[in-house]
Each structure stands twice: as structure tokens, then as C-alpha cells.
Amino acid sequence: MDGDDLHPPANVEKMSKGIPLTDADRAPWLVRIRDQAHRSIERGERGAVVACSALKKSYRVVLRGDRIALEEHGGQSDKDVLETAREHAPSDHKSQPHDADVDRHARPHAGPDTAIHEHIPSHRLRTIFVHPHGSREILMSRMEHRKGHYMKASMLDSQLDTLEDPATTGEDGVIQLELEKPVDVQMQEVMEKLKQMGVVQAI
């Protein structure tokens, strides 16, 4: 699953113009990604693999299943942010019984370090993050060689400025991946670490 495919049109338009997203822009998107992963499990799949830019620790907290309030108001009132989340929720999601959770929790909070954590037991799903990291030069080269993607390579610096490296935030369930290594070596290392975590079984 590619998180870029789940962005609402307003987010895509901003990124195509080189405008960085705010926390308010990302709130409904993060919730949608988590909910799509749950639907994969509900369909009987053993797990879900998602590619997305989970730049901040607070974003990763949401993706782990804790519907927190994000830090940045983005110039909007709480009411406006809730309306934004509601309007951008996919039509199939609006009919789900936990739609209220999206409106209530996917919003910025009033100040730093006051995130509201609310666990939703029926939505628990173990989440492991694989964090590919490398030099700015390598990242820029890969972005410049992408074809047909709406996000401009010039936005890399804003992404790096926003990034809260999970290696420095004390988070559990994170696998660090060096982009300089060959892809087959990367895959081997990730699978080995997932086995050590008990996420996948050794064959």
C-alpha cells in the first residue's frame, strides 16, 4: 500500500505546487492509512505493508493506533480542523462505525507536549517501522529520477527539516535501513530483524 495514493486531492495539489503539508493536512491522511491497514486484516490478510512519509514521532504514534491530537494548528481552529478531517475522509470510511474517532482524535492539540492519547482496543495492530536513511545526495538523486510523481524533488529539504529520526526518539519497533546498501542486502537485513522481533516466522 502506498500512502501517497491515499492523500486527499487538496494535499496532492499543495505538494504538486511545492507547498509543504501541515499537521492539519496530514491528520486525516494518517488516520486513513491506519484504517486501510486494519481493513486488510479484516479481509483475512496476515498483515499490511505501507510506504509513507511518517516524518514525526507524533505521526508514527497515530500510525501505531493511538489517535492523538497533533501539535500544529496550521492556522485553523479545532472546529475547522475537524471539518477538514471529515471532508477529506474517504466515502467508504464515512460509513464506518468508528467515523467519530477520526473527527475526535485526528486534530492538532493546543500546545506542545500535551498530546492526548486514547487507545482503541478493537483497533490494535502491531506496527513496525522500517526507516530507510541516507545522505541528502542519495535521497535527492532518487527523487529526481522518479517519473510521474506529483511531489517535487525541491521539497526534500522541507521533509528533512520536519523529520524526527526514530533513532533518536526512543521509539520501539523501528528498523534502521541504510540506503547505500544493495537492495537485496537491505531486504535480507529487514527480514532477519523482523524474524528476531517475531513479526515473521523463520522458514
The yes-or-no verdict on residue 116 having pLDDT over 50 is no
**Is the pLDDT score of 6 beyond 60?**
yes
In this prediction, residue 29 has a pLDDT band, given cuts at 50, 70 and 90, of very high
Q: Compute and round to an integer the Cα radius of gyration of the chain.
A: 17
Contact 4, 151 (CB under 8 A): yes
Reported as a single tens digit per residue, the pLDDT across 46-88 is 888 999 989 999 999 999 988 666 654 334 433 444 444 444 4
Cell representation of residue 47 = 498483515
Rounded distance between C-alpha atoms, residue 4 and residue 155, angstroms: 15
What pTM was estimated for this model as a whole?
Answer: 0.68
Q: Report, as an integer, the average pLDDT of 156-164.
A: 85
Whole-angstrom Cα distance, residue 33 to residue 1?
A: 9
Query: How far, in Å, CA of 186 to CA of 184, rounded?
Result: 5
Q: What is the mean pLDDT of residues 190-199?
A: 92
What phi, psi does 174 have (nearest 5°)? Answer: -125, 130
CA dihedral 132, 136, 142, 146 (to 10 degrees): 110
